[in-house]
Amino acid sequence: MNTTPILRLTDVSKSFDSTAVLSGVSFDAPRGSVTAVLGPSGQGKTTLLRLIAGFERVGDGRIEIDGEVVGSSDVHVRPDRRGVGIVPQEGALFPHLDVAGNVGYGLPKGSRDRIDEMIHLVGLSGMSSRRPSEISGGQQQRVALARALAPAPHLVLLDEPFSALDAGLRAGIRDEVIGILRGAGTTTLLVTHDQEEAMSIADHVVVLLGGVVAQQGAPTDIYERPASVEVARFIGDANLLSARADGGSVGHVLGTQECDASPGPATVLVRPEQLSLSSDGVPGVVERRAYYGHDGTIGVRLENGEFVSVRVSVSELAPVGARVGVVMRGRATVFAG
């Protein structure tokens, strides 16, 4: 069994003029996996994708695809020779070509069987002769996926491909596309700013903040054990409370727990789902209320002035102005300083 990662980045850096966009980026995309590069807009995600695809040259470091160096300070393999397929934002289909023409674009003549196979794979049989203007946004996205898969690439890059879809369609189309890629055994790299998207579909998440890998790992590890306050704040809803570590424990407004932080000021992370309402909890006043149908959150100003978000059932959605008690379940994550 070949265990070599399809994609490996080692200390990849890139600057434009004197501005550093990426610095020392390293990670692997294992064979057959879905890896998400997650970060806010303007953090270097698109530049990273362009480096992997070969549209930009690497400044420092090394990019390998299926064991071959395709980008470094002195190596640059052309995009068409990297074995990489790309699904861009909004599909970017050719409006003058029908579905079959778009899927087969770039393939050698006589590839009709492969084109039909890809159209069937993405569930668009019977639509070969339709133009992009004659199919829905979700169907256009599947055509773009079929086009990317047609040359049998080593790696498929997804560049925020679902961001232009209506919210009602996004999750369904996303799950369909990822299901097709997993079914085909295709190694996939998804670039996105959508936390829910990355955390729900990826095997491995690379958090990119300020052009640097702030943390990488399984979605559960990143959510439950963030490496820094910055990652905690970016991934999911975070209650960050002031605390003080002393003698193997840390104390904050919601309680005390054992920890190995150095004595001194600290910050603790408590997720909204770790909090609940109780008459004997820390007193506070409800300042915000949000209803989501299946559950909701209330924002509570605690007695020491700190503000926390509490995830509750619909029946517990107290009105603004109500006095409540808040208790914590489990352990908070502690950050020194």
Query: According to the model, what pLDDT value does residue 138 have?
Result: 82
159 - beta bridge partners? Answer: 191
- Condensed to tens digits (0 to 9), the pLDDT of residues 275-305 reads 999 999 999 999 999 999 999 999 999 999 9
Query: According to the model, what pLDDT value does residue 203 have?
Result: 95
Query: According to the model, what pLDDT value does residue 53 have?
Result: 95
CB neighbour list of residue 231: distance below 8 Å, 6 or more residues apart: 207, 209, 214, 215, 222
Query: According to the model, what pLDDT value does residue 179 have?
Result: 87
Query: According to the model, what pLDDT value does residue 239 have?
Result: 96
**CA dihedral defined by 124, 127, 131, 137, rounded to 10 degrees?**
-30
Domain 237-336: which CATH class? mainly beta
Could you give phi then psi for residue 149, rounded to 5 degrees?
A: -85, -20
Query: According to the model, what pLDDT value does residue 107 have?
Result: 87
- Segments of the chain assigned to CATH 3.40.50.300: 7-83+153-232
CA distance 127 to 125: 6
Q: What is the CA radius of gyration of the chain?
A: 24
Side by side, the strands of the sheet bearing 296-302 are 307-312, 296-302, 275-291, 323-328
- Condensed to tens digits (0 to 9), the pLDDT of residues 27-67 reads 999 999 999 999 998 889 999 999 999 999 999 999 999 99
- Segments of the chain assigned to CATH 2.40.50.140: 237-336
Q: Closest Cα partner for 218 from 11, 35, 6? A: 35
Architecture in CATH for domain 7-83+153-232? 3-Layer(aba) Sandwich (3.40)
Query: According to the model, what pLDDT value does residue 1 have?
Result: 60
Query: According to the model, what pLDDT value does residue 137 have?
Result: 83
CA distance 337 to 325: 28
Low-confidence ranges of the chain (pLDDT < 70): 1-2, 90-91, 164
Task: Tell me how crowded residue 90 is: count the other CB atoms within 10 A of its CB.
Answer: 16
| Whether the Cβ atoms of residue 207 and residue 38 lie closer than 8 Å to each other | yes
